[in-house]
Amino acid sequence: MKLPIRIELDEAPTREDRKVLERAIDDFNARTTPGALERFGVFMRDAEGELVGGLDGVIAWQWLYVESIWVHEELRHRGYGRDLLTAAERRALERDCHSAWLGTFQALGFYQKCGYRVFGTLEDYPPGQSRYFLRKRLPAH
């Protein structure tokens, strides 16, 4: 590391820079907090291999964190979102997780139907809406 250090705002950070930050944070957490951290994905692909849905998950400290979930608009309301969550929860159970959590401002009802319960709310995020933080106790296996 060479001095002087400068701080700069980047309005379009590269995927590579974002990955460097993610790895650095993961490495720091691995050194300073007991327990392993595992990132994984669950993906939906159509017959041609095109990505049409998926879930980014993180398993740490016996919790599943659902970082993001997406289903192509034409495939919504067919149970695919529930299938993605179920696959992630199954993975979490295989890794001895006891609970899952996530944040949303668009799909509160969906997550509640999947057994998630609100434990926190951030009003006006985004403006005029609320961001909800939900959790779910996973069944013992």
* Per-residue pLDDT tens digits for 18-27: 999 988 987 8
Rounded to an integer, the average pLDDT of 104-110 is 94
Tell me the domain boundaries of the chain.
35-137
Burial 19-42 (b: 16+ CB within 10 A, else e): eeeeeeeeeeeeeeeeeeeeeeeb
Instruction: Residue 138: name the closest of 112, 116, 119 by CA.
Output: 116
The number of beta carbons lying within 10 Å of the beta carbon of residue 2 is: 4
Q: Compute the distance between CA of residue 124 and CA of residue 130 in angstroms, rounded to an integer.
A: 5
The architecture that CATH gives domain 35-137 is: 3-Layer(aba) Sandwich (3.40)
- The percent of residues in the chain predicted with pLDDT above 90, rounded, is 76
Between the CA atoms of 114, 42, 28 and 125, what dihedral angle is there, to the nearest 10 degrees?
-50
